[in-house]
Structure 1
Amino acid sequence: MKKRLLILFALAFPLTSMAQETPKTQMTVGTTLGSLERFFPIFCHGNMQQAIDAIKSCYQEIPATNPDIEYCLIADIYVTHMAKHLNQTAISSKEQPKYDVNFINGLDQRLTTYLNTSPLYKDYNSETYKTYMENSYLVFKISLITRFAYKFYPKDICPKSDFNP
């Protein structure tokens, strides 16, 4: 009898351990690089408003079910943080904010929408999703800074801009 229970447990254990997949803690390197390839020319030659417009277009072009939607999400987080910082700098200098405040303030809503609607995040709760996005943002930001610093696009090719001070 004990032998049968042990065999039954041994057969059932792999099935129960596969029942729920552990969420990843950050986007893949391929996703980070894909997003950099898509948006770096704008970061290099464009300005903040062009980057915001490109992210809006990205969301319109890529369905929520496509894993490439993460290109839009991670660039959105980066650009929103940069735009928010530039707007705060303008306000502290007694100037009007320069960039689309509605877009900037809508980041949390956009992220929540994708958490709730995209099958990519079915194994995430709000805490694991937040950690996933924060970790992914840091990797993206470091990768972007590395591109500027190590002159993959030299300063004479990437002039001073909102993204490359």
Structure 2
Amino acid sequence: MLGRILQRTIILITFVLALILAVMPMSLAIAPWRPEWPLLVLVYWIIALPHRVNIGYAAGVGLAVDVLLGSTLGFHTAAYAIVAYPAARYYSRIRNFSLSQQALLVMVLVFVARAIVYIFEHYLNNAPLMWHYFWPALSSALFWPWVFLMLRKVRRKFLVR
């Protein structure tokens, strides 16, 4: 019983750290390149433990991102849930991809999530299209191997199953 509580706590701590990284102040020059940390952590846990972290977690993390970023409630929630579905559906295939192939997939997933949020913002708040809005897809792909390896090490060290 205590082991399961510790395992859930480890997963939640990684999400909290990702949320902190998502709102941490950055230089204006590199802020548009900020990776989608919560989505990276979410994708990792979905492909590592699909029976434990699923679309429900995606909705919860998306809601937390909405609250932290001050965006309209539900935009990131919907985007994260939609993006989490293919990761959860094809987790066994994704596990067999190399890290570079996974990084490309992560880039596509982050791009789709950002596009969904943009579409909501455009139709509800008349937001203009700015191409730098999609740059985090590239930076997230570049950071994916490190995120993957660090979270795998944490999962193995604390025996999260």
State whether TM-score is above 0.5: no
The higher radius of gyration belongs to: 1
Q: Which has the higher helix share?
A: 2
Q: Which has the higher contact order (CA 8 A, sep 6+)?
A: 1
TM-score (norm 1): 0.39
